[in-house]
Amino acid sequence: MVQQATPRETNERLAKRQAVSFGRLRKSIGRDAPLYLLALPGIAVLILFAYLPMSGLILVFKNYNFNDGIFGSPWAGFANFEFFFSSMEDAIRATRNTVMLNVLYMLTGTFFSVAIAIVLNEMRSKWFVKITQSVMFFPYFISWIIIGAILFSLLDYDKGILNQSLAALGLSQVDWYSSPWLFVVILVLANIWKSAGYGAIIYYAVLQGIDTSYYEAARIDGASRWQIIMRITLPMLIPSIILMSLLSIGGMLKGDLSMIMGVTFLNPLLLPTTDIIDVYVYRTAIRSGEFGFASAITLYQSVFGFILVLVANKMAGWYDKDSKLF
Amino acid sequence: MPQAENKGLLIFFYVCIAVFSVICFAPFVLAVSGSLSTESRIAAEGYSFWPRGFSLETYQFLFGSKLEQIVRAYAVSLTVTVLGTVSAVLVTTAYAYVVSVKSFRFRNVFAFFAYFTMLFSGGTLPWYLLSTKYYHLDDKLIGLIVPYLLSVFLMFLMTNYFRSIPHEIVESAQIDGAGHLRIFIRIMLPLGRVGVVTISLFYALQYWNDFYLPLMLVTDERLYTIQYLMYTMMANIQFLASGNAAQVGGAIIAPPLETAKMAMTCLTVLPIAILYPFLQGFFVKGIVVGSVKG
């Protein structure tokens, strides 16, 4: 998105250029003044809600108290880090849960999105595609708290549809809300339900752009439908799949607090697998007011998250120059 | 022979898509059915896809003793969504215009200034402390709006729409003496209206569905949004039970808790369900444009 700087120039030429451009600069500032005005609200929002929170990361070196705030609280040196390393299990669990859930979401989400897109691409019935696509896309518009409420009616021990069905089949009922590992499956399925239709739109759009002559040639050669899918359609999608997956690596340490809150209501029995970093910070710092450990894990999330984004972008750049984001 | 094989696979595909579509739709049937059931039968027999003992008592209960809370939460959600969307679209399109002006020498600086926030983030904790202690956004309506005024992703989406407007139009306006403000308002916004509508819808959806900001910033019941009201209901059933057991003819009738959750689900999804058929095309277009050049 941001263009490369001009190639290096000799000092002499650079000085000349600067002299010329200084005059041009003054003129352009006059003409461009309204542009700064237009950008101002956006800049203010970015500074308030993105850049100042970054500087707020110094919190980790502070012994935070409410009255003095982030910048006024006394320095604590590395005390928060010592605390962090002394109770690493919490950090390890939170990190494991965050990465585990994100990897599972990515793998299953991609699989279902791609499968739906490919299958829709095979269909010739326009109205069928249109209607099913609309229906599958709809869950994307539903908030996690609503999904949580509906899930409750599926999973509740006594009244839930799932246990009713298990009982009808003569199987024993399952206490979903106290089985942390089973609940990972529920989260993954809920994520597929909410976002597979959304993902399918992207891949379907890619498929719509494929030159139909590939398919005609394959058909003339007597290829079966399955062969066409495996040898033409899927390979056509591979670049997009790899790209999207690489880019999602950058978000591996980010967690969706709303999702966990909406679906589990911070049920303590489920925390062994649902206590992601964001949930941990919310529980310990925002709810219970213990800032030391939470600030350390926040810094660690930010720094490693940044490294992951850089690595992901680098890899996407190696893979395909055009797709590099910066 | 290959024809038969092709046919079989195709039928299998149709069945798969139909099944997944049903799965996507069925939970809403469950919610509607739950909201129309009677509490006692849900408690005894469990949820069902078909109303158990069809009745409107839950809605009567909600619109009777909970009317004020629900109407207020709806009003807060609506206010936040409308004000938030309008302001966010203004802030976002203005910034996007600046980034899209080819002759502006610092446009890449502005682009990177926004882009960097996608790469590096200070995380929830400093954000929370600044918002509450320094900006005093807690328990204020504005606190549910301001933090989302600029989505960098939607800003770049809008930039793409602006860039697709033929440059000659802008040039001829400049020759006629139009400044940036005039070009932005009179030319770019009207010509980029598909983009404007698209990002408006994304913002509206975000504001309507959000319960992160109320979770972080709101304790005052009067500022509960419909989503957050729903959350407090789910997380703490006492909200409904507390002191609201309706007395009818001397007998105390327990409030319908289970069916009320389903009814609230329906009330929360209803506005989206009504608008969805008309607006989904914009979302599809936005997602495609965003993923191709985002």
Please report the ipTM that was assigned to this predicted complex. Answer: 0.88
Q: Is B92 on the interface with A (CB under 8 A)?
A: yes
List the structure tokens of A15: 């000085």
Domain with A177, as residue range(s), is 79-323
Per-residue pLDDT averaged across A190-204, rounded? 94
Cβ–Cβ of B94/A42 closer than 8 Å?
Answer: yes
pLDDT tens, residue by residue, A239-281? 889 888 887 888 888 889 999 999 988 888 899 999 999 999 8
Test the B interface: residue of A146, A230, A278 with most B CBs within 10 Å: A146
Q: Is residue A15 situated within a structural domain?
A: no
Give tens-digit pLDDT for A169-192.
988 888 888 899 999 999 999 999
Chain B residue numbers touching A145 (CB-CB < 8 A): 211, 227, 230-231, 234
- Position B7 in a domain: no
Q: Do A53 and B121 touch (CB under 8 A)?
A: yes
- Does the beta-carbon distance from B146 to A70 stay under 8 Å? no
Task: Give the pLDDT confidence score for residue B158 in this predicted structure.
Answer: 94
The answer to whether B207 contacts chain A (CB < 8 Å) is: no
Q: Is the pLDDT of residue A321 over 80?
A: no
- pLDDT score of A51: 94
How does pLDDT run across A300-316, given as a tens digit for each residue? Answer: 889 998 999 888 888 87
Check A50 against B292: CB less than 8 A apart: no
Instruction: Say whether residue B119 is in contact with chain A using an 8 A CB cutoff.
Output: yes
Q: Please compute the mean of the pLDDT values over residues A7-35 and round it to a whole number.
A: 64
Q: A59-63, A215-219, B18-22, B238-242 — which is least confidently predicted? A: B238-242
Concatenated DSSP letters for A190-222?
HHHHHHHHHHHHHHHHHHHTS-HHHHHHHHHTT
If you count residue pairs, one on A and one on B, with CB atoms under 8 Å apart, how many are there?
Answer: 296
- Report the distance separating Cα A70 and Cα A65, nearest Å: 8
Mean pLDDT of chain A: 85
The 10 Å Cβ neighbour count of residue B148 is: 21
The tally of domains found in chain A comes to: 1
**Reported confidence tier of residue A5, pLDDT bands at 50, 70, 90:** very low
> Which pLDDT score is estimated for A19?
58
- Would residue A63 count as lying in a domain? no
Total domains in chain B come to 1
Please tell me which residue of chain B has the smallest CA distance to A146.
B265
Contact A48 B13 (CB under 8 A): no
Contact B212 A258 (CB under 8 A): yes
What's A176's domain CATH number?
A: 1.10.3720.10
pLDDT at A324: 53
Which residues of chain A are within 8 Å of residue B156 when distances are taken between CB atoms?
A: 1
A12 vs chain B: nearest CA distance in angstroms? Answer: 22
Whether chain A has a CB inside 8 Å of the CB on B123: the answer is yes
Check: CB of residue B230 under 8 Å from CB of residue B236: no
B127: in domain:
yes
Q: Cα(B20)–Cα(B41) distance, rounded to whole angstroms?
A: 29
Q: Is B261 domain-assigned? A: no
- pLDDT of residue A209 exceeding 70, the answer is yes
Whether the pLDDT of residue A1 is over 50: the answer is no
CA nearest to A290 within chain B:
B125
Q: Does B266 touch chain A (CB under 8 A)?
A: no
The distance of B201 to chain A (nearest Cα, Å) reads 11
Domain assignment present for residue B120? The answer is: yes
Q: Write the CA distances from A24 to A18, A101, A197, A262, B46, integer angstroms.
A: 9, 53, 51, 55, 75
Q: Which of A46, A143, A326 lies closest to B117 in CB terms?
A: A46
In-domain check, residue B278: no
Using 50 as the pLDDT threshold, list the residues of chain B that sit under it.
1-4, 238-253, 293-294
For residue A14, being part of any structural domain is answered with no
B110 with A128: Cβ contact below 8 A: no
Which whole-number Å values give the CA distances from B71 to B65, B84, B228, in the listed order? 12, 19, 13
Which residues in chain B have Cβ-Cβ distances shorter than 8 Å to A226? 5, 9
CB A158 within 8 A of CB B46: yes
Q: Which residue of B has its CA nearest to A35?
A: B98
Q: What number of other Cβ atoms are within 10 A of residue B69's Cβ?
A: 18
A215 min Cα distance to partner chain B (Å): 14
B56 contact A CB<8A: no
Residues of A in Cβ contact (< 8 Å) with B34: 153
Task: Name the burial class of residue B94, with classes exposed (0-12), middle (13-18) and buried (19+) by CB atoms within 10 angstroms of its CB.
Answer: buried
B254: in domain: no
Q: Which domain holds residue B169?
A: 66-235
Query: How far is Cα B230 from Cα B69, in angstroms, rounded to an integer?
Result: 11
Q: What is the CATH number of the domain that holds B158?
A: 1.10.3720.10
pLDDT at A294: 83
Quick one: which of B292, B144, B226, B176 has its CA closest to A204? B292
Cα of A168 to nearest chain B Cα, Å? 12
Contact A116 B17 (CB under 8 A): yes
Closest among A263, A81, A21, A1 to B113, alpha carbons compared: A1
Q: Which strand (E) or helix (H) includes residue A85?
A: helix A79-86
Q: A interface mutation test: which of B16, B125, B128, B163 has the most A CBs within 10 A?
A: B125
Q: Provide the pLDDT for residue B258.
A: 81
Tell me the average pLDDT across A63-72. 79
> Nearest CA to CA, how far is A195 from chain B (Å)?
11
User: What pLDDT score does B249 carry?
Assistant: 37
Is residue B47 a part of any domain in this protein? no
Cβ pair A161:B47 closer than 8 A: yes
Longest alpha-carbon distance in chain B: 81
Decide if B12 touches A, using CB distance below 8 A.
no
Asked if the Cβ–Cβ distance from A265 to B16 is below 8 Å, we say no
